[in-house]
Amino acid sequence: TWLNYLPLCLKPWEQDARKRFKRDLEWCIVRLQRIKNPDFAGKYMPDAFLPSVLRAADLGGFTTEEEAAYLALQLIIGAADTRYALQQSQISTWSFLEAMLQYPDVQHKARTEIEAVVGDRLPEYADLERIPYIRCVMKEVWRAISHDPKRHEDPDRFWPERYTDDHTTTMQSVNSSDVTKRDHFAFGAGRRICPGYHVAERSLAIAIMRILWAFEVVWAPGTKQPVDPLTYMRGSEMPGNASSRLPVTLRVLSQERANIINQTFEVLQHERLSLVSTTPDDAYSRVY
């Protein structure tokens, strides 16, 4: 492309990219040196990706240690555009919460179907097969950015029922030989498709089921109606996505369900204490 022949001073986007790459590489090198420091031995998981690569005689096929460290960073930030929001929750989840605020009838229907299957126990991913409407909601969350009326009837409407007869999983859909039958293109297409779509699918399914099982999603107290979505999108990490400014309140449905949520959180905190930090700052100080 002719843009390659422009001097760097006329390409601010490339200047920004070079600065970001330098920053990211420095972040990687700091953690690489920390792993190699004998004084740091025992403070990381020995079977973690980077320590395993450094122990390998051929660096696991990497050309340099820095290259391996940079890939380790990609493992951390992979799907950052779909998974990053306040304290590392999912932007897809924020978009789901926004939809529940705007369409309470969808929220009520989804919760009713969840409760009919799981009752008073915490939903699990395995429950998704018995709650088809949740898969419809997931597909609609990811479809919502697409507004082509030739592909989607009434594209501006959040309408999960459009997927009532579509029982395909994300894997089945993205591997369809007929692209016109794809449910959505949130994960891209072809050889550049997101390799972690199955993780995103499971994560969002669990988040949706557990949020609706435990909470009622309502507007925050004092929110003036009607709400202009742009007023809370301006604080977003990613353009067009909801952010921590979303005026939402999660109102617990019962003390019993609140207790189950708290107990589950405590168990996970205990089991994964060595893997998951409790604060974003601590997460960045760890070695992965």
Residues 6+ apart with CB under 8 A from 164: 132, 136
9 has binding-site annotation:
no
Q: Which residue has the tokens 């990381």?
A: 44
What's the alpha-carbon Rg for the chain, to the nearest Å?
22
Nearest Cα to Cα of residue 241 among 114, 97, 66, 65 = 97
CA atoms of 201 and 36, how far apart (whole Å): 36
Nearest to 200 by CA among 119, 109, 117, 91: 91
Tokens of 144: 């919502």
| Exposure class string for 153-184: b at 16+ Cβ within 10 A, else e | eebeebbbebbeeeebebeebbeeeeeeebbb
Known binding site for heme: residues?
A: 194
Known binding site: residues?
A: 194
